[in-house]
Amino acid sequence: MKKKLLAVGVAATLGALSGVSNAAITVAQNGVGHINVLPYYSVQSGNTTLISIANTDAVNGKAVKVRFRGAQFSDDVFDFQVFLSPADVWTAAVSLDGTVARLATSDKSCTLPVSVNQQFVTARLLDANKAQGTREGYVEIINMGDIVTGGTAAQTALFTATKHVNGVAPCTSSVLIGSGTTPNDLTTSLSAPTSGLTSFATIINVASSKAFTIPGTALVQSTAVPVRYSRQANLTIGTASFGSVPPAFAAAQTADSVFNPATGNVTMYEFDLPDLSTPYGTADAAAQLAELQTALQKASVITEYATADNILAATDVVLSQPTRRYYYTWTDTPNAGDGDTLKTLATVAGAVAGSPYAGLAASTNSIVVGAPAVYDREERTVVDQSSIVISPNPQGSATWTLIGEVSVVSINNGSGASGALKASLTAQDYTFAYDDGLVRLSTTNQANGAPLPVIGFTAVNVFNSSVGASGTNYGQVLPLKW
């Protein structure tokens, strides 16, 4: 079995580098798909993130997996299920509670667990990351199956249990959870997942009077997708079969090698499935990962930026990489002797050789990319690249890097938290010769020339001192171009 898992990882790597012809998974230009990824959430420095997930399908409901992953290593920090009625919208807010993020919602749609008004979970975070590891990251939103009426008795029962009546869904416990010692497996109560999900997040800072609204990246699958339901349960998935439970899942249902007993050896639970690599109309996790890589890879991104002091302008470019986790290698295999009795932790050792992230520096979780190309607003460009630095290095820098799963490039901000979003976990500053202009940021791995899978946006904040007694901030969101 171990050899098979290793072969899956190698196949994923080769597929990602060579490209996949006629890839079934593509980015939906209309923003509606089977899967959504919100590139960033934050509760840093007074930020609150408002989340909205909508089912645009007016006929069928959706059983949706929602998973928050940390910005540093994509560790799962909070996940649950939402059952959306036809034309339903689910909303929540994520804010800081002590040292960790907390989700709060008053929405009437059904969820598993029944209440998701809880703090984020630090169990999968190494001790060095627990204090801040939940405060920034990105969100996976996956349709596990459609909720239909007029089908089997089980399908109709689930539809009735989750369909709003006078503004409130019944959330019938006997249907959603059952009465046994293990929760119900709803696989046979669902129909094949279809498109229809759309989402956005708004990062709002009331004290600073600014907000940034970010649409989710929607992925659509052009081929038939089997039901991908997995119980929201802490039931372990045995390493001997690596995914035989629940019955809907065959072997190799994830490309996340942290769960491979030959590599990371972290205990896998049913709530860990599905993830973005779970086969979704493809043959296996390797093919799924390769399709995602093809759909999201970019050699570079282009954005405008503004940092002029007279309007206190600040610019952050968010470069989220939702498949980066699947190319990690792991060290410090968890075991009871180290005190990790539940086998929840593993440390990134580097990246799979020959993968898109070959050459990754494990100590900083950074990858070297190409130099940026910078222009001011009057067509002038930087000729001497030594004038572009990763500050606060005054001697100039020969290398440029992207740090972490959600890399935040802050422009002309100096050291400390980033300027517009107040990011800190994976933020770094690029210092340019021009206050304002146009920049092409490389997203190509310099170790092997591989374009990286990137989604994201640019956040620009400006200050108008002429409004009111103390002035006001304005937040702008610019879509990335390439």
| pTM listed for this prediction | 0.91
Tokens of 100: 């960790």
Residue carrying the six token digits 């804010």: 95
Taking the C-alpha atoms of residue 413 and residue 421, their distance in angstroms, rounded to an integer, is: 12
Instruction: Please tell me whether residues 268 and 194 are part of one structural domain.
Output: yes
DSSP string, 367-408: EEEPPPEEE-TTS-B---GGG-EETT-TT--S-EEEESSEEE
- Give residue 472's pLDDT: 77
Range of the domain at 451: 299-322+366-403+405-479
Question: pLDDT value at position 242?
Answer: 36
Asked if 289 and 323 count as a contact pair (C-beta separation under 8 A), the reply is: yes
In sequence order, which ranges of 148-284 are alpha helices (DSSP H)?
153-162, 173-176
Do 277 and 134 lie in a common domain? yes
> Is the domain of 420 the same as that of 285?
no
Distances (CA, A) of 257 to 2, 6, 115, 227, 362: 11, 8, 31, 23, 16
d(CA 392, CA 59): 55
Query: Are residues 110 and 249 both part of a single domain?
Result: yes
Count CB atoms within 10 A of the CB of residue 46.
Answer: 14
User: What are residue 141's DSSP bridge partners?
Assistant: 36, 66
Same domain, 467 and 380: yes
Per-residue pLDDT tens digits of the chain, which is 482 residues long: 333 333 334 333 333 333 334 559 999 999 999 999 999 999 999 999 999 999 999 999 999 999 999 999 999 999 999 999 999 999 999 999 999 999 999 999 999 999 999 999 999 999 999 999 999 999 999 999 999 999 999 999 999 999 999 999 999 999 999 998 889 999 999 999 999 999 999 999 998 889 999 999 999 999 999 999 999 999 887 544 433 444 334 446 889 999 887 888 888 889 999 999 999 998 888 899 999 999 999 999 999 999 999 999 999 999 999 999 999 999 988 887 788 989 999 999 999 999 999 999 999 999 999 999 999 998 888 665 555 655 555 445 568 999 999 999 999 998 777 889 999 999 999 999 899 999 999 999 999 999 999 999 999 999 887 766 677 788 899 999 99
Question: Which letter, b or e, does each residue of 101-129 get, where b requires 16 or more Cβ atoms within 10 Å of its Cβ?
Answer: bbbebebebbbbeeebeeebbbebbbeeb
**Residue finishing a domain among 296, 331, 354:** 296
Rounded (10°) CA dihedral 300, 390, 456, 294: 40
In a domain? residue 260: yes
Is residue 350 a part of any domain in this protein? no
Do the beta carbons of residue 28 and residue 195 sit within 8 Å?
yes
Largest separation between any pair of C-alpha atoms in the chain? 71
For 165-200, letters b (16+ CB in 10 Å) and e give eeeebebeeebbbeeeeebbbbbebbbebbbbbbbb
pLDDT at residue number 433: 87
Same domain, 279 and 317: no
Query: Per residue in 362-387, is it b (16+ CB within 10 Å) or e — as a string?
Result: eeebbbbbbbbbbbeeeeeebeeeee
Q: Residue 19: its pLDDT value, please?
A: 37
Do 313 and 441 lie in a common domain? yes
pLDDT at 469: 67
> Looking at the structure, do residues 145 and 158 belong to the same domain, yes or no?
yes
Q: Which of 281, 296, 311 is the last residue of a domain?
A: 296
Q: Is residue 283 part of a domain?
A: yes
33 and 110 in one domain? yes
**How many structural domains is the chain composed of?**
2
> Are residues 286 and 375 part of one domain?
no
Alpha helices in 164-265, H assignment, sequence order:
173-176
Which residues, in sequence order, are bridge partners of residue 94? Answer: 49, 103
Q: Residue 327 in contact with residue 445, Cβ under 8 Å?
A: no
- Is there a domain that residue 330 lies in? no
Query: How many residues in the chain?
Result: 482
Q: Domain check: are 237 and 311 in the same one?
A: no
**Same domain for 424 and 391:** yes
Is 347 inside a domain boundary? no
